[in-house]
Amino acid sequence: MKKKYLLFDFDGVLAESVDIKTEAFREMYMSYGEEFAQRVVDFHVANGGVSRYEKFKIFNGHWLGEEITTQKIDDLANIFSNLVVDGVVNAEEVKGAKEFLDSSSEYIKFIITGTPTVEIKPILTKRGMNHYFKEAFGSPQKKGFWVKYILKTENIKPDECVFIGDALADYNAATENNIDFILRETDLAANLFKDYKGYALKDMTGMHALLNKMNG
């Protein structure tokens, strides 16, 4: 069955914005010392695509032993948001991303990201990208939740759909919903995906060719 629906992660797939978030986590936790900040960064890198809400529960709750309330998590998320939004809006596009989005109207496209839903929508608008996507979904819900939601609400068969991502959270969201996955290869993800044998791309310039191959 031909692929008709494309689910894109955002950071590291359409925009080269992963490092912006990595450095924001480092900056937030430097007051606890360089060693602790590096531990935070290492965890963030190893768990790309996991929402910041879940990460704050680990960093501040489990590691720092602080009481974790909804208000506390919201406060931390706001600090993080202020550090990253402008950087993400102005980040370089992944090579070939705009060209592909401009030339792929035959596909129905969605964003599924670890970025909060309330944050990704204005980012897409400011980047002039919102018109490419039927909808954009983010945290606090997990990526697997949104894949399942889209399949159900759009009445999509899993084999009509493909998830394009660069993180284990993306791969897991695809596999748990029985949809194909395309890895956008990055230096950051190289170690995490060292045993991965599936579809992969260096950037978005080869996207049409790969989809044509998948469609037979």
**DSSP string for residues in the chain:** ----EEEE--BTTTBS-HHHHHHHHHHHHGGG-HHHHHHHHHHHHHTTTS-HHHHHIIIIIIIT-----HHHHHHHHHHHHHHHHHHHHHSPBPTTHHHHHHT-TTSEEEEEEEEEHHHHHHHHHHTT-GGG-SEEEEETS-HHHHHHHHHHHTT--GGGEEEEESSHHHHHHHHTTT-EEEEE--TTTTTTTTT--SEEESSGGGHHHHHHHHT-
* Nearest Cα to Cα of residue 72 among 82, 59, 85: 59
Q: Do 27 and 111 lie in a common domain? A: no
**pLDDT in the model for residue 147:** 98
Q: Do 79 and 106 lie in a common domain? A: no
Q: Do 35 and 65 lie in a common domain? A: yes
Report how many domains make up the chain: 2
Q: Do 104 and 158 lie in a common domain? A: yes
Q: Do 168 and 63 lie in a common domain? A: no
**pLDDT in the model for residue 216:** 81
**pLDDT in the model for residue 50:** 85
CA–CA dist 205, 14 (Å, integer): 11
pLDDT band at 10 (very low <50, low <70, confident <90, very high): very high
Tell me the CATH number at 111. Answer: 3.40.50.1000
Q: Distance of CA 35 to CAs 25, 137, 154, 162, Å?
A: 13, 34, 46, 39
What is the average per-residue pLDDT within 96-113? 97
> Residues 132-144: pLDDT tens digits?
999 999 988 999 9
CA–CA dist 98, 106 (Å, integer): 15
Q: Do 197 and 177 lie in a common domain? A: yes
pLDDT band at 46 (very low <50, low <70, confident <90, very high): confident
- Across the chain, what does the average pLDDT equal? 94
Say yes or no to pLDDT of 49 above 80.
no
Q: Do 118 and 68 lie in a common domain? A: no
Q: Do 85 and 100 lie in a common domain? A: no
Q: What is the largest CA-CA distance in the chain?
A: 54
**pLDDT in the model for residue 140:** 87
Q: Do 178 and 131 lie in a common domain? A: yes
Q: Do 62 and 150 lie in a common domain? A: no
> Residues 160-192: pLDDT tens digits?
999 999 999 999 999 999 999 999 999 878 888
What is the average per-residue pLDDT within 62-85? 94
**pLDDT in the model for residue 1:** 80
Residue ending a domain, choose from 68, 90, 112: 90
Q: Do 77 and 119 lie in a common domain? A: no
Q: Do 104 and 83 lie in a common domain? A: no
Its domain, for residue 151, covers 5-16+93-214
